[in-house]
Structure 1
Amino acid sequence: MPHSSVLMRRHPRAFTLVELLVVIAIIGVLIALLLPAVQQAREAARRSQCINNLKQIGLAAHNHHDTFLKFPAALYNHNNGYAPNNESDQIGPNWAVKLLPFVEQSALYDIFEVNENNANTVDKWQRDVTLPNGQYARAQEIPAYMCPSDAASKTPYSGVGGNWGRGNYAANGGFGSWWNDGESYTPNGYSSSVNSDGCFTVNKGRNMAAVTDGTSNSVLVAEVRIGEVDTDQRGVWAMGVSGSSIVNNFSRGDCHGPNDKNGNSDDVYDCQDFADGTGGCWEGCTNTQAVARSLHPGIVNVVMIDGSVRSVAETIDQPTWAFMHAIRDGVPYQKP
């Protein structure tokens, strides 16, 4: 019967407003649960890339040692010692420039035309680095020198003529005055003074024989964070000063370990505090110290002199952290 068939026909039932809101809420909860896992997976990938970069730098340093029978100097300069602030007449080529041929950047290295250590090395560098080709070369971001976890804007450093590119790795200058050999300091939490020499110093490349504590016990290169404004010279890969491409983790005074949260822990000329509140600097000072830093949660990566990479917890005790940066402190039992 046509009439009854019409009565039995049903229209599709739509979602009610309440049901729609419940579905949306469930989807929101699922996203909230999944997002941290996605972020952790991404950070794990970034951390893995950072570790690979450090392995490449360690291999490059070993190849340099095999070629020249020594590691590169931290930097070359005129006064054979401390380079105050960022004065251009003090700054010559640094370790990161010297390793360019060993990290597949020979073409960039050739632009600088750096010679081995001799009387005119710094003068020639100052000419080449200020010429158009040198300005191009110093502005480059080297993949092997950049940690993907550092989300800071890669704004070039504007000092010393400007247009200096950024990086995230710094040579270990020890835990004292990296520009002086043979100095001794007493780390925070330790009872006696020990030799504080790191693997890198001024105008002189050290060799393996100098590492009497053992190459697996001493840091070669550590992570460093990029300055967040153009006047902050932290993370400038081609500039051989504290915080740019050199760390000397004093483990005394204001500097207490990796990823130090103290607002005065980095003594770097014209630097500014990090916006995320993870530590800052003593502004307006001379370049005397900068601590190893990273944006990896809870750790900082370092490559040891033997080429192995370690993820060091930022809670490491201060004497151990100091001794990891000294190549002949005489207390290797303190090393993890």
Structure 2
Amino acid sequence: MPRHATLARALRRRAFRAFTLVELLVVIAIIGVLVSLLLPAVQAAREAARRMNCQSNQKNFALAVINYENAKKQLPAAMGEGVLAGRNKTEFLPYQGPQLSWHIQVLPYMELQSLYSQFKIDGTTSIFNQSDQTRPEESQPAVMLCPSDSAFGRFYSDPDFTSGLGGVRKVAKGNYVAYAGPEHMNSAHVFPGTINTVGNELRQVSDGTSQTIMITEVRTRDVPEDQRGAWALAWPGSSCIALDLHSGPLGTSWTASGRPDVPYIPSTKQQDLDYSNPPNSFGGGVYSADKLRKCPDSAGADIERMSCDSANESWGSAAPRSLHPGGVNSAHVDGSVHWLSNDVNVTLLGAMICINDGVLPTE
């Protein structure tokens, strides 16, 4: 048989075995469908890993607080050297004094002694007058960050409020905050959360360490003038939050009565709960948007479900938030970490934040 005939037959056999264009398109379509089916599962697996990482970070913070208490015989304060004024020295002023957060106090118990040693903690030096060479407030240790958020590389800076040694300072953002109290920041000394205006003794957590929420999550925005998440600052929304759930009828609230001896009774009045559920909510607390020193780009904040108001006052409050679907992580005083669902009962949440209201969770 001529050589060219053999070659032609071989080419015809090879052509017969090849995919047609239709077959190729069908294969591509099948692969596309499989990828589209697998992608949500992959994303869910990634989010599950991020959430576990976030839980681990909160666990580290909770254990650091416990170790701090073991060494100091008291829990860290919301401010290293807090400022109490007003009604019988019971009003917390978060925008006065050194303004160093509780995070700084527990750094040595998180294997971050070298970072802690860079801060000047003397009761008078503010967070904006720390070393101009090392600038420790600009540090972003990985333990401060929840991987579901995008806080890495974000800083709080505002020429109206952060000017200090060496010019306008920046404070790095993170994702973990403590509950100062169930109502407002300035009433946290009266209606106390675990980490409030002054260092509580552990025995003061009379509702039980396993029943009381201590640490939760916040989200950050890529807006320098937005203070939320600035971990070294003892400000509302930065390192501490408050629920804004008033005690009983509004008329018996400490902030309304001026009395430092009013017991905290979580409100159950429906008209007081217009903002429904705080975790990941549109509002900042039960009543309103996060109260910040400045609320830049309020329309953008609304779109991100992180609404805010400009309120350069001492009665600030802010909401726990995360990008985890369905809720936020929360660490209790005993060091355990739990999932706090978006549909948590608000009255129950207020009771779980206050350390001595006498109300134990029933659900």
Q: Which bin holds the TM-score, normalised by the shorter protein? A: 0.7 to 0.9
Residue 317 (structure 1) aligned to one of 335, 345, 348: 345
SS in 1 for 2:92: coil
Q: Which residue of 1 aligns with 2:138?
A: 139
| 1:114-173 superposed Cα distances (whole Å, 9 cap, x missing partner) | 24xxxxx0x2345742x3145x20000022221111025632111213311011010111
Alignment pair present for 1:303 and 2:324: no
**C-alpha spacing 1:330/1:79, structure 2 compared with 1 (3 Å):** closer
Q: What is the root-mean-square deviation in Å for CA atoms of aligned residues?
A: 2.4
Q: What is the alpha-carbon distance in structure 2 between the residues aligned to residue 7 and residue 124 of structure 1?
A: 90
Alignment match of 1:201 (pick from 193, 196, 207): 196
Alpha carbons of structure 1 residues 213 and 28: separation in structure 2 relative to 1, 3 Å: same
The code of the aligned residue for 1:12 comes to R
**Structure 2 alignment gaps of length 5 or more:** 86-90, 163-167, 246-272
Alpha-carbon offset, residue 11 of structure 1: 4.0
In structure 1, distance between residues paired with 2:154 and 2:7 = 72
State which of 123, 141, 165 in structure 1 corresponds to 2:172: 165
* CA shift digits 1:224-273 (9 cap, x unpaired): 11123111000000000110010111245657421112374312222355
- Matched to 1:149, the amino acid is S
* Aligned match of 1:260: 281
**Partners of 1:280 and 1:255 in 2: CA distance:** 15
Name the SS of the counterpart of 2:55 in structure 1: helix
Q: Give the corresponding residue for 1:282.
A: 308
Letter in 2 for 1:107: S
Counterpart position of 1:19: 23
Say if 2:224 is the partner of 1:225.
Answer: no
Q: Are positions 1:65 and 2:69 aligned together?
A: yes
TM-score, normalised on structure 1? 0.84
Counterpart-to-counterpart distance in 1, 2:82 and 2:222:
27
CA distance in 2, matches of 1:286, 1:223: 23
Matched with 1:329 is: 357
- Determine if the alignment matches structure 1 residue 82 to structure 2 residue 108: no
Q: 1:41-65, CA deviations, whole angstroms, 9 ceiling, x for partnerless residues?
A: 1111111111111111011001110
Q: Is the 8 A contact 1:91 1:239 kept in 2?
A: no
- Judged with a 3 Å threshold, the aligned counterparts in structure 2 of structure 1 residues 201 and 7 are, in CA distance, closer, same or farther, namely closer
Deviation at 1:79, TM superposition (A): 4.5
> Partner of 2:69: helix, strand, or coil?
helix
Counterpart position of 1:269 = 293
DSSP-derived class of the 2:51 partner: helix
Percent of aligned positions that are identical: 35
TM-score (norm 2): 0.79
Greater mean alpha carbon deviation, residues 280-289 or residues 160-169: 280-289
- The 3 A distance-change label for structure 1 pair 127 and 45 is closer
Retained in 1: the 8 A contact 2:277–2:346? yes
**How many residues were matched structurally?**
311
Which structure: greater strand fraction? 2
